[in-house]
Amino acid sequence: MRRIPRGLALASFALLAGGCTSFESPQSALAPAGPVAAEQLRLMILSVVVMTVVFVVVMGMLAWVLIRYRRRRGDTEDPEQVHGNTWIELTWTAIPVVILIFLAVPSVRATWQLAAPPRAPSEEVALHVTVVGHQFWWEFRYDDLGVVTANELHVPTGRPVEMTVTSQDVVHSFWIPRLAGKIDAIPGRRNAFWLQADEPGYYPGQCSQLCGPSHALMGMAVVAETPSDFDAWVARMKEPFAPPQDPLAARGMAVFEKSCAQCHAIAGTDFQGAIGPNLTKVADRRYIAAETLPNTHDDLVRWVSDAPAVKPGVLMPSGTRDLKLGPDEIEAVVAFLESQK
């Protein structure tokens, strides 16, 4: 029996495994949840349909020619040569031109349409967010609202969110497949982009430009809420800071001031470090470390004790080895983080 070449077997397996993800999986561009992703999916479907028709017609003609014009027993002469036949040359130039125009018109129209949010009627003005990629997390600045957060971008449903995307270090790429296609985050450049979520939900995404050792651990999510829930979130983010009452958390605040505040900010305090994510209301986040660990007590302890063990190449030092924090100080600073909600 002949063996199946290993490359072919691997390629088939990859296709099979790829086919197993459901259309409805959380990071599927085939399950759009907003107008930008929906328009992009329409373009994808159009080009796949056109390509399929071209493939079937060309392969059909090839098969027909192979069978109909094959060399028969007794054929000794070359068949009639058609090189330079004007009619054939014109046909096979004209058909691709027509197909390309057919693809280009909707693509160019969509490119213009998606370049800027629709000029909205009355109060539906776009919300503006500056997105900054960092190794290995995302900063979100709501310039008009005076709110800064990280990794989980809250947006109101039904309202366009205009984004200016840039990077602090290397090239990253912002991609929330269910809401919009990728946009690169390039240092020194400001790329414009918008998206909109139709329904409340949690839409995860992934940095999609290889950016260093923890690239695969650089996630983010859009948290879409009803406009009133979104306003409530903004109000919570702007609440004046209240020092924790709980003695352990209060001790943790002192640890934070000594060991963490040079890199992390908390709104309403003197802590204004800007190397790491802004930690205002960090206890409200579902995940920490850019969607790498769930925001639970044990995972906070694990993260603060030794962040580089969780994410190679991370700028955050190890709490135990570098910052020389004892277990009680780590418990205290984690209690302080947990009080920030």
Residues that bind Cu ion (CB under 5 A): 172, 207, 211, 218
Q: Which is nearer to Cu ion, 227 or 313 (CB)?
A: 313
Which amino acid type is present at position 307? A
Q: Which is nearer to ligand HEC, 46 or 248 (CB)?
A: 248
Secondary structure of residue 168 in the 3-state scheme? coil
Q: Which is nearer to ligand HEC, 13 or 202 (CB)?
A: 202
Q: Which is nearer to ligand HEC, 113 or 320 (CB)?
A: 320
Spatial distance between the Cα atoms of 183 and 130, rounded to a whole number of angstroms: 13
Query: Are residues 265 and 272 in contact, defined by beta-carbon separation less than 8 angstroms?
Result: yes
The first and second tokens of residue 87, run together, are 């009619």
Q: Which is nearer to ligand HEC, 180 or 304 (CB)?
A: 304
Residue 314 contact partner, candidates Cu ion, ligand HEC, none, CB within 5 to 8 A by sort of partner: ligand HEC
- Least distance (Å) between residue 316 CB and ligand HEC: 3
Spatial distance between the Cα atoms of 171 and 135, rounded to a whole number of angstroms: 9
Query: Are residues 243 and 253 in contact, defined by beta-carbon separation less than 8 angstroms?
Result: yes
- Least distance (Å) between residue 203 CB and ligand HEC: 17
Residue 211 contact partner, candidates ligand HEC, Cu ion, none, CB within 5 to 8 A by sort of partner: Cu ion
DSSP per-residue string spanning 254-321: HHHHHHTTTT-B-TTSS-B--SS---TTGGG-SEETTTTEES-HHHHHHHHH-HHHHSTT-SSPPTTT
- Least distance (Å) between residue 243 CB and ligand HEC: 16
Spatial distance between the Cα atoms of 152 and 323, rounded to a whole number of angstroms: 27
Residue 161 contact partner, candidates ligand HEC, Cu ion, none, CB within 5 to 8 A by sort of partner: none
Q: Which is nearer to ligand HEC, 156 or 276 (CB)?
A: 276
Secondary structure of residue 54 in the 3-state scheme? helix
- Least distance (Å) between residue 174 CB and ligand HEC: 15
Q: What is the longest distance spanned by two Cα atoms in the chain? A: 101
Residue 172 contact partner, candidates ligand HEC, Cu ion, none, CB within 5 to 8 A by sort of partner: Cu ion
- Least distance (Å) between residue 138 CB and Cu ion: 8
Q: Which is nearer to ligand HEC, 194 or 271 (CB)?
A: 271
Sign for the CA dihedral angle at 165, 187, 260, 321 comes to positive
DSSP per-residue string spanning 182-242: EEEE-BT--EEEEE--SS-EEEEEE--S--STTGGG-EEEEEEE-HHHHHHHHHHHTSPP-
- Least distance (Å) between residue 41 CB and Cu ion: 25
Residue 289 contact partner, candidates Cu ion, ligand HEC, none, CB within 5 to 8 A by sort of partner: ligand HEC
Spatial distance between the Cα atoms of 146 and 140, rounded to a whole number of angstroms: 11
Q: Which is nearer to Cu ion, 244 or 308 (CB)?
A: 308
Nearest to 28 by CA among 39, 13, 41: 41
CB proximity list for 292: less than 8 A, separation 6 or greater: 217, 219, 310, 311
- Least distance (Å) between residue 312 CB and Cu ion: 14
Residue 263 contact partner, candidates ligand HEC, Cu ion, none, CB within 5 to 8 A by sort of partner: ligand HEC
Residue 104 contact partner, candidates ligand HEC, Cu ion, none, CB within 5 to 8 A by sort of partner: none
Residues near ligand HEC (CB under 6 A) are 136-137, 150-151, 259-260, 262-264, 275-277, 282, 285, 288-290, 304, 311, 314-317, 319, 323, 333, 337
Residue 264 contact partner, candidates ligand HEC, Cu ion, none, CB within 5 to 8 A by sort of partner: ligand HEC
